[in-house]
Structure 1
């Protein structure tokens, strides 16, 4: 059968909101017209996509199976229209690692790209969430820490899904330790990771969701704990300030909020580095990715973003393999 994209669009809008009225408003059609499109689609497919009861709407098993391919069908249809009309859509970048303020790195690069590419940015939840958005063609590039690179990107490592992506290391950022003014090391000018073994690494989320924090704690034999929810950097640093045993890891040049009773000290011997990377679909990449990579290379060269010296610096093992050939990894 030939899918009617108007019917598919009606289905996706209703499936994402589970509300026919809101979906109709989004598509600027009447609710009756939206319902007719979905009913025709169900008739063509020979399956029921929604369970309708009173004011509640739910997806059937068939509807859940159909949703992701339907999203991809719409994305490919929109891309085909844009190609035929020679309309270049904006390059969409989703970023994560919010505690480390990723826009500090993205902003000068986007400025360097200038008018060559129109760029749109938006927050992603985490690496798996951004990979899912890439799968759905809901974004073009992810920016954050791409871990698990030993067997491919993503938390699982290896597999067919990993082969669908290309990634590139673009920045290595030195990390400082942040401690309470009452911490026993607060009077020092610098701190060594070995000196933190009787302290607690305070994390903004569960440790199994924070690969860099987890690897740091394991490598230096440090206890790590986390709160119940990530409530932003202000609250996070308040939690560190309230306990003289806790410490946090923060980018060295990140400006800390005023009025927070903490000290930021350099970590040395070794200095941990946080690896920022770009990740995108290997197949049919957005044409704006190449100018973006050139801009990253230019800014990284001038700002010395990719400097790494074994012994002086520390990186998780998977990140070290990226440093030696950052432009050749696929």
Structure 2
């Protein structure tokens, strides 16, 4: 059987949205034309790829076909690129936006040169994990942590940067005059969180580890909103990756944390069963950037990492 990639593309788009209208819009075609392509593919394969009762969902055959269908499309893109000389686009979703994840990606991009990037914003790690599993993006970049109920099964990660974090507080805070602070010095202060704490795995583990019981969280309304609260609360603080830029107008103090120094772990994540053709090249680029910028320095007697980040140290 000759597999028509136009039919396969219609199937993959529909499987990704589970909605004929949205899939048709994504492919810039009509819903009727999309339905005909799906029906033609099902006829050729001799199986039903979707169940169509009360909406649509993948059939068992559709679930089996989807990974191979995505690989077939990727192979087609590589074949076209080999002839035209244009490389495939790398779709990368980032999260943890207040901490400016694209700083690190941009430095790796400089090493990689002519790779074509298509960055996109992810809400958080669980949502990016789902996008990776659906095939809606090629790579994720941010802080990866274990997800409940095996929702990250099938995904692989690589630690690429360990970034020290500083404490950020108002000049009116009693500790604002220090040159450095221990995390334990903050036990009587209020940890201001940039979003709901159940979505901030690092901050939650940091607060638990150093027994910071006074915590204030809420919806993520952006960096300016967080800064305003810190500026007006003489007991408040937050922690921020050391190289992440704060607006010049904040008037806040940023003080290094020591004994131990907490480290924020940045990782790449991807779906192992659908590796991007440039993945090995990308990993080499991040490795080279990390080596020259000393991104992966870790000393157990000096630094602190959440327990869930320790296994990442074995694969670097």
Query: What is the TM-score normalised by the length of structure 1?
Result: 0.79
Task: State whether residues 177 and 266 of structure 1, in contact with CA within 8 Å, keep that contact through their aligned partners in structure 2.
Answer: yes
- In structure 2, what is the equivalent of residue 142 of structure 1? 140
Please, which runs of 5 or more residues in structure 1 have no aligned partner?
52-57, 148-153
- In structure 1, what is the equivalent of residue 77 of structure 2? 82
Among 128, 131, 135, the alignment partner of 2:129 is: 131
- In structure 1, what is the equivalent of residue 315 of structure 2? 326
Asked whether 1:230 is paired with 2:220, we answer yes
- In structure 1, what is the equivalent of residue 210 of structure 2? 220
1:218 Cα shift?
A: 0.6
SS across alignment from 2:188? coil
- In structure 1, what is the equivalent of residue 302 of structure 2? 312
Task: State whether residues 95 and 144 of structure 1, in contact with CA within 8 Å, keep that contact through their aligned partners in structure 2.
Answer: yes
Q: Within 5 A, what are the aligned runs for 1:1-330?
A: 16=17, 20=21, 24-30=24-30, 32-34=32-34, 59-60=55-56, 62=57, 75-87=70-82, 88-115=87-114, 117-147=115-145, 154-156=146-148, 162=153, 164-323=154-313, 325-327=314-316
- 1:245-266 Cα distance to aligned partner (Å, 9 max, x none): 2110111122211332421111
Aligned length: 309
Task: State whether residues 8 and 73 of structure 2, in contact with CA within 8 Å, keep that contact through their aligned partners in structure 1.
Answer: no
- 1:5-41 Cα distance to aligned partner (Å, 9 max, x none): 7567667767849684x76554343455456557878
Task: State whether residues 125 and 143 of structure 2, in contact with CA within 8 Å, keep that contact through their aligned partners in structure 1.
Answer: yes
Distance in 1 between residues matched to 2:31 and 2:308, nearest whole Å: 52
SS across alignment from 1:167? strand
Q: Mean alpha-carbon deviation: is it higher for 300-309 or for 100-109? A: 300-309
Distance in 2 between residues matched to 1:136 and 1:235, nearest whole Å: 33
Please, which runs of 5 or more residues in structure 2 have no aligned partner?
none
SS across alignment from 1:131? helix
Q: 1:248 and 1:34, CA in 2 relative to 1: closer, same or farther beyond 3 A?
A: same
Task: State whether residues 12 and 67 of structure 1, in contact with CA within 8 Å, keep that contact through their aligned partners in structure 2.
Answer: no
Q: 1:25 and 1:277, CA in 2 relative to 1: closer, same or farther beyond 3 A?
A: closer
Q: 1:4 and 1:90, CA in 2 relative to 1: closer, same or farther beyond 3 A?
A: closer
Q: 1:172 and 1:78, CA in 2 relative to 1: closer, same or farther beyond 3 A?
A: same
- 1:70-106 Cα distance to aligned partner (Å, 9 max, x none): 8656533422422444554222222111121111111
CA RMSD of aligned residues (A): 3.4
